[in-house]
Amino acid sequence: MKNKGGVLIDNSTDPATGIPLYSLYGRNQRPSTKMLKGVEALVFDIQDIGARFYTYLTTMAYAMEEAAKNHLEFVVLHRPNPVSGDIIEGPELEPGISFFTAYPAVPARHAFTAGEISFSMP
C-alpha cells in the first residue's frame, strides 16, 4: 500500500502477546480514541535530527494533542540531536501553513530535540 508521501504501514498485532500495534504512518496519522482505549500513558521515544521535513515531530505533536483530548499522560524521552544542537538555518515555517512534513513552526534546520519541541507545543 502506498500514498504520495511514501509507503503506508499497516496496523498489526504483536505475535507474542496479541496486543494490537497501531501505525501512525498508515491510514491514520493520529491515534484515535479507539486506539487509546485502556491506555494510561503514551511514550514518545524517537530521536530527531533537527530537520523540519522529518515527520517524527509532527507525529509527536499529533499524539500529544490526542493524549490531551483523552486526558492521558504523554512522556517524551529526551534524546540528543546527533547532527548538531547549535546550528539553525533556513526559513521558519510561515503562519497558517500546516502539513505532515511541516507542523511545528521552526526553521528548516532547527537544532531542537523532541523534548525541547514538546515544551513549545500548545
* Verdict on whether the full-model pTM lies above 0.75: yes
DSSP states of 82-116: SS-SS--EEEEPPTT--BTTB-S--EEE----HHH
What is the model's pLDDT at position 122? 64
The length of the chain is 122
C-alpha cell at 61: 505533536
What is the model's pLDDT at position 117? 80
Quick one: which of 5, 102, 94, 22 has its CA closest to 63?
A: 22
Identify whether the C-beta of residue 109 lies closer than 8 Å to the C-beta of residue 57. Answer: no
Kindly give the confidence (pLDDT) of every residue in the chain, 122 residues in length, as a single tens digit, with 9 standing for 90 and above.
445 566 889 999 999 999 999 999 888 999 999 999 999 999 999 888 887 777 888 899 999 999 999 999 999 998 887 777 778 888 887 787 777 777 777 888 888 888 888 877 76
Is the domain spanning 30-120 CATH 3.40.50.12170? The answer is yes
Cβ–Cβ contacts within 10 Å for residue 47, how many?
Answer: 13
